[in-house]
Structure 1
Amino acid sequence: MNKNKILLVDDELNLRETIKELLTYQNYEVKTASNGQEALNLLEYWIPDLIICDIMMPVMDGNTLHEIIKETESLNSIPFIFLTAKKETDLMMKCLLDGVDGFISKPFKIKEIITIIQTKIERFEKIKNVQNNLYIGKKKYFVHEINTPLNGILASIDLLIEDQETLDKKEILEFYKSIKTSGERLNRTMQNLILYENIKNNRIDFNDISSSEILKTFIDTKTNIFQIYKNKEKRIRFEVEEARIKISNKNLSFILFELIDNALKFSPDNKVIIISGKRVNDEYYELIIRDFGIGFSEQELKKIGVTQQFNREAREQQGLGLGLFLSKNIIEKSNGVFTIISNKIEGTSIKIFFPNV
């Protein structure tokens, strides 16, 4: 029977040797490195089932190593645990939201570290068994979008259970917020996949008599968006006239959320998003969403489709690339018109014509 492999990264020699001896006794195959760069050198030819890593190290620290692994297709689904003496809530929150699977605090108990390792490796084995059958688009992006929020939820819960007697109310609240953020991200991914499957298989009827008040729906959606983009309210400038249009509130909310989220995501923090909406005639209502971000080239615009993402690694995208495709599809199936004009560096303008009631 093959042994599970563990990579241990820590600059303290005595601690490395102690943990290695402990895990070897538990029938794991263990390799060690004294910093992130040594770990990367090992990972070029040896792929573990779990990585345990200190945060503060010379040459390359744990955060940098994790960032590189997260963006490496052959490595980014490997469970990654930080081994640290620090008990800083803010640091933990950032690491959890970035996709770290958990923490082992120094000094640790032998039973504790063995239990955590067994749990993470068992979960990784299950993921490896199903990920070849359940994904859309590039496999690494799907696995990343499922694993990252799921790890944030599970690791936060683990820490709440383990440290419940030492955490104060403020720290507990931060963990709850972290769980909520991760849960909403996972829910959004799964709902988009379900919507894609329903549209692909013609399970949604777009020829109903649903209608929405666009200004009210826009205000509600904007409020939801700023639950994610904290303290960024000034980034959106809008002038949206009241009107009732022929699309369900659910579909309109989805379209507005996805397109505004994209505009914010692809724009620098110092750039505003301009949104305007007005009734242009008896037949149509015009909505324009304009950003001043990175923009798309003509070649990229031609490729807009399901799971299409452009230079994801450089732009730190989240999501599966479904939002723009689904929005365009829903608009057109609702007898609307969708156009997009974009230039590199200058930004992107999306113009939508919704049928009036």
Structure 2
Amino acid sequence: MLFWGTLGVFVTLYVAYYWREDGGERRDTQWALAAFWGTLTAAIVLGGVVGASATGLLIYGAFMVGYQPRLRLALGLVLGVYVLPLLGAVLWTREQWSGQEWGPGVVLGVTTLCAYLLFGAYSAHQEWRGRWAMRQLRAAQAEKERVAADAERERIARDLHDLLGHTLSVIVLKSELAARLTDQAPDRAAAEIREVERISREALGEVRAAVQGYRGSGFSAELARAKVALDTAGIRLNITAPLPELPEPLQSTLAMVLREAVTNVVRHSGATELRLTLESGSGGYRLMLHDDGSGELAPDGTGLSSMRERLRAMGGSLERTGGSGTRLVAWVPLEGHGEPGLDSGGVAYP
């Protein structure tokens, strides 16, 4: 009962140690020390039951105490609490086995165990440093993305203010003037209204041009965003071949297909990998997306039907097959791409 109870406590501590959430340096040190002393206690208790074989638990303690920021503390504890007492015990009892055939084996075994304990603490510390660096890198990347997003929002707000602020002020003034002249000078009021219409059309064109500039990031930028979305969902993007240079009129069309397909792969496929192939053929380009998900094909939704109809109107096609994952193939011809800025709903892509 004592053996199984102590072993159960140790296993619980060990699992909790490695499954805990990432914490700060202080918290990692606290966990490491708790695991170290807990493992030592378990080894002492079990030593009275199973004998010297309980020292195997010390290996776990050495690894766990090393998984924290203070390497000197880890090595000092392993050396002072594990290694030196073990070596002292061997030397103290050497007369009991001196000259016996198995004596040198004991010395070699204890020496190897002591070296492995120190190496275990050191290697665990190096692993902690690697994970801590990755944790810091992720935090820095998130902060960088947040700052970039804030800067982009400020830029858009500034552009729209510069673009529309003066124009809307002029429209308001001319509209008020036209309202006052309606009874006194109808012809002049009509002229002011026509001027308001002209300014409004120019402003609308400028806004459309600005919005197109925000959207017009092309296939490469959409591919970068797709990779971020897939990485976040734990899906690996495998680009099977070098990507050809896309003509400008086809950039937004294939970017739209990629965006909708990736969105639905992330949401519905349950895949772990998405293979992407973009090929240039006679008269057009073929984009193939093949995931390793469930492969179950639901009936075509509105988004998929709309996308297929739009591509067909351009002389292209869209095919979807299931089975071993789901495969989506979009063919876009060089000629007949009359709608470069397609805007469809979500693709019903399981």
Q: Higher strand fraction: Structure 1 or Structure 2?
A: 1
Q: Which has the larger radius of gyration?
A: 2
TM-score (normalizing by structure 2):
0.31
Query: Relative contact order, CA 8 A, sep 6+: which one is greater?
Result: 1
Q: Counting helix residues as a fraction of each chain, which structure ranks higher?
A: 2
Please give the TM-score of this superposition, normalised by the length of structure 1.
0.30
